[in-house]
Amino acid sequence: LILGCNAILDYIGQANDSQEEINNVLAQAHALRGYYYFQLVNIFGKPYNSPGGPESLGVPLKLTSNIEEAGIRRNTVGDVYDQVLSDLKAAEELYESLPADMQWKSNFRTSLPMVQLVLSRVYLYMENWAKAALYAEKVMNNSNFKFINVNDVPRMNPNAQSRIYYMNYQSYNSSPEVIMPFGNTADVAFWLFDTPKNGTPCFIASQDLLDSYEDTDLRKDFYIATTKQQDNYPRNWQTLPLGKISLNSQNNNLGSGSDNFGRSFRLSEAYLNYAEAKIELNEDISGVFAKVDLMRKNRFKPEDFKPTPSMSQDAAREFIRAERRRELCYEGHRWFDIRRWGMPEIKHIWHVDGETDVEYTLKAGDNAYTLPIPRTSIELNPDLEQNPMDSGSRPGVNINK
């Protein structure tokens, strides 16, 4: 994918087209390359805001489509972030040079608001709170997007003998919040149904996540898919570790056509990025929650919604982190968020089959919070230095037989 972006940037000068169309293509190439490198460095590098993070090893920066004869060493996390910002700002400048009707279209391509949302996310990870809020607010003020009211989403089938239908919140057709959808439902969920026994999911939605929702919060029912297992399976109803994607009446043929998207850039993230940044700046917390409530009131029945009260900075920080988890669950944010929030100890239960559960523990600050470089990549590029592999985490322990 990065190679494709590099090839465009290398050879766009040979194109015979209008300057507007050339700038449009250039903007897309810069936006995608910046986003791809941002994802890579947060998988294979330490969090930017961790001790020594910017100076630690990130990923190699390969910025041309030329074939290299020598190996390529890893750049630092700081180097990669600098390149990410350079690409995203170049994309922003190019988009701003275009007419308004070319800055965003529902055409599955990058756009000015997509770039601004990613810039907000990048600055949030860097703890540059002022710029994170600034770019988030640009997206919040974009009149192309508005919140979906979950009250208007078709109700799920309450018949316990039937499968449940779930709509896709990641497509232009079903959600006015979507800035740009990408991927497909199979990318994020198809493997879940290739399970070892009785169609049983190997793991389920965290009880901690489920407990974080108020009883009247509609997102618990509408964002988290629930499936009825075979009658001989002791757990019966299961909350699946996925949500907000199309599931048909069998919960295993995962959407098709225009709703077959597994991820998207959404308006909700801009509000949550803005709130987190403003809380860290300790600026007008009451005003911050007034903006967040513009989103939250669409997640409750009108008679159940209560405005978020003002609170201390510490309490507000914890609230907005929990709200981020509730609103953005299953959209690829949680792992990166807990990394930048201090890498706490986490536990996961793996359901081996209908009778056996195994609990795995990831210790606080463990090296496993940064993934190892794939062996195949090192074989192809011996100049790559592997991440530390020692781990204090507890291996699987049977907790239910």
pLDDT digits (tens, 9 = 90+) for 356-400: 788 899 999 999 999 999 999 999 999 999 999 876 666 666 666
Q: Could you give the 3-state DSSP secondary structure of residue 397?
A: strand
Q: Which residues pair with 359 in a beta bridge?
A: 349, 397
pTM: 0.93
Q: What pLDDT score does 160 carry?
A: 46
The domain made up of 1-103 has a fold known as 1.25.40
Query: Residue 299 phi/psi, 5° resolution?
Result: -110, 5
Q: Which amino acid is at 57?
A: L
CA atoms within 13 A on the CB side of 19: 4
Residue 219 in contact with residue 150, Cβ under 8 Å? yes
What are the Cα distances from residue 384, in Å, to 40, 71, 72, 372? Answer: 14, 8, 7, 11
Question: What residues does CATH 1.25.40.390 cover in the chain?
Answer: 1-103, 126-335
Query: Residue 370 phi/psi, 5° resolution?
Result: -115, 120
Helix segments in 53-159, DSSP class H: 77-96, 112-126, 129-140
Helix segments in 246-340, DSSP class H: 267-280, 285-296, 313-328, 334-340
The first and second tokens of residue 342, run together, are 């201090």
- pLDDT, one tens digit per residue, over 92-103 is 999 999 999 999
What is the 8-class DSSP label of residue 275? H
pLDDT > 70? residue 47:
yes
Quick one: CATH architecture of 126-335?
Alpha Horseshoe (1.25)
Q: How much is the average pLDDT of 230-240?
A: 58
